[in-house]
Amino acid sequence: MKVVALYDFTARESSDLTLHHGETYIILHKQHQLWWRAKDKHGNKGFIPSNYVTEIGTIEANDWYCKNINRAEAEHLLRQEGKDGGFVVRSSSQPSSYTVSVYTHSSGKGEVRHYQIKQTDTAQFFLAENHVFGSIPELINYHRHNAAGLVSRLRYPISPLGTCLPATAGFSSDKWEINPSELTFMKELGSGQFGVVQLGKWRSQHKVAIKTIREGAMSEEDFIEEAKIMTRLCHPKLVQLYGVCVTQRPICIVTEFMENGCLLHFLRQHSRTLGHVQLLFMCQDVCEGMEYLEQNSFIHRDLAARNCLVNERNVVKVCDFGMTRYVLDNQYTSSMGSRFPVKWSPPEVLHFNKFSNKSDVWSFGVLMWEVFSEGKTPFENRSNLEVVEEVTQGGRLYRPHRASASSISGCSKVRLCRRIICFLWSCPGGRLRQGLYRGSVSGALVLVSAVFQGCRGPF
């Protein structure tokens, strides 16, 4: 199989192969899903991260295609560049479809327009009905020279390449253990339930977050075994675990560095400056990360805004998945001896300590509430015991001000309300999977409004 490099990648170990953006490579062996053995045009061989390449002939091989960005991120990227006619092609919220996002000064002020690429009954692609093409690259090439119904012709492909490289699954193939001598500590970022988090560098080149685990804070041997598996989890909406330092104590966990920090603090710091669509896409980012965990049979157990981080492009990523299983302190200990965050937990966890993907869905509903309340604490004036009693009796959170019906327009609210109620806070068997946001943005905004309609009483 022949592939083309989407990003530059510098070999980190003698077994790796350096990649140069735009050059072609031959895949010799797919060691596993995340690292492939490849050969370059000079005959050099080595391992490469699979998410840094794409097969020749796919839409991902084009410089105007942005694979892992949503509407809000596309708008941010285009406004940042500020070029009239700047554009990206991205995956649409509709399955197996694509959207062209274009920046224009035509109205006298910069704005972004979005055009969904449509198909005819004969599988031809078009943006304007009078101009149909056999492939998306042909369509884009035509509109680079002709506006033909668009606000502007597609003048400049805008790409995030080089500004925000995707994380790799570990620093190299099968490398999960990190030598502490390769880490440089720069400054403290904060502290959490496990210990101190610091900004640092690996081999003086790659920015990382280093969590120094407080001795006695977790079951170390069990976690180290799990870390070997967790480094294999790689998704654009998960904070990447690069590896663990285990040769000395305290042990250190090395992860991807996220410039804008904790989602909870980010929401509080930017109160009233984030639009409804931005808030929605924050929820969608989390949703995509949680879908991936579910597909890989991984349960988070502690999904909340405090356990999500925000990068320089305001993309939200889920972190600390599965970590609560190894906590030894009593921060989340109930009278039954279980460890969980009470205010984010469904009845089956509160009463039976039963975690599943369905309990993660419940927690996601509470996270949505955190986002649309701009970082308030759920059940803020109630004790854990009071929350257990209230949730057991059918009590639910009130609708936050940023999810008010007056600020979100839409129709078919009754049907959508039923969907969201089922999705979030029904009994476990009735909770839908986290692929809620496959519909339109406007529809999803109505869902967010609808979820908070029933303040009290069982759904």
Identified catalytic residue from 16, 40, 285, 302: 302
SS3 262: strand
Amino acid at 30: K
Q: In what order do the strands lie in the sheet with 118-119?
A: 118-119, 125-126, 132-133
Sign of CA dihedral 341, 342, 345, 348: positive
Q: Which residue has the tokens 């509470």?
A: 366
Question: Is 211 annotated as ligand-binding?
Answer: yes
For residues 66 and 87, what is the distance between their CA atoms, to the nearest angstrom?
10
Structure tokens at 434: 């986290």
| DSSP β-ladder status, 308-310 and 252-256 | unpaired
Whether a cis peptide bond, with omega within 30° of 0, leads into 341 is no
Secondary structure (DSSP) of 167-222? PPSSSSTT--B--GGGEEEEEEEEE-SSEEEEEEEETTTEEEEEEEEPTTSB-HHH
Residue 309, CA distances (Å) to 160, 294, 378, 414 in order: 19, 19, 19, 34
Q: Could you confirm whether 302 is annotated as catalytic?
A: yes
* Residue 49 · residue 9 · CB < 8 Å: yes
Largest CA distance in the chain: 69
What stretches of 50-194 adopt beta strand conformation (E)? 53-55, 65-66, 86-91, 98-104, 111-116, 118-119, 125-126, 132-133, 156-157, 183-191
Burial group, residue 96, by CB count within 10 angstroms (0-12, 13-18, 19+): exposed
Q: Which amino acids are annotated catalytic?
A: 302
Q: Which residues are annotated as a binding site for ATP?
A: 211
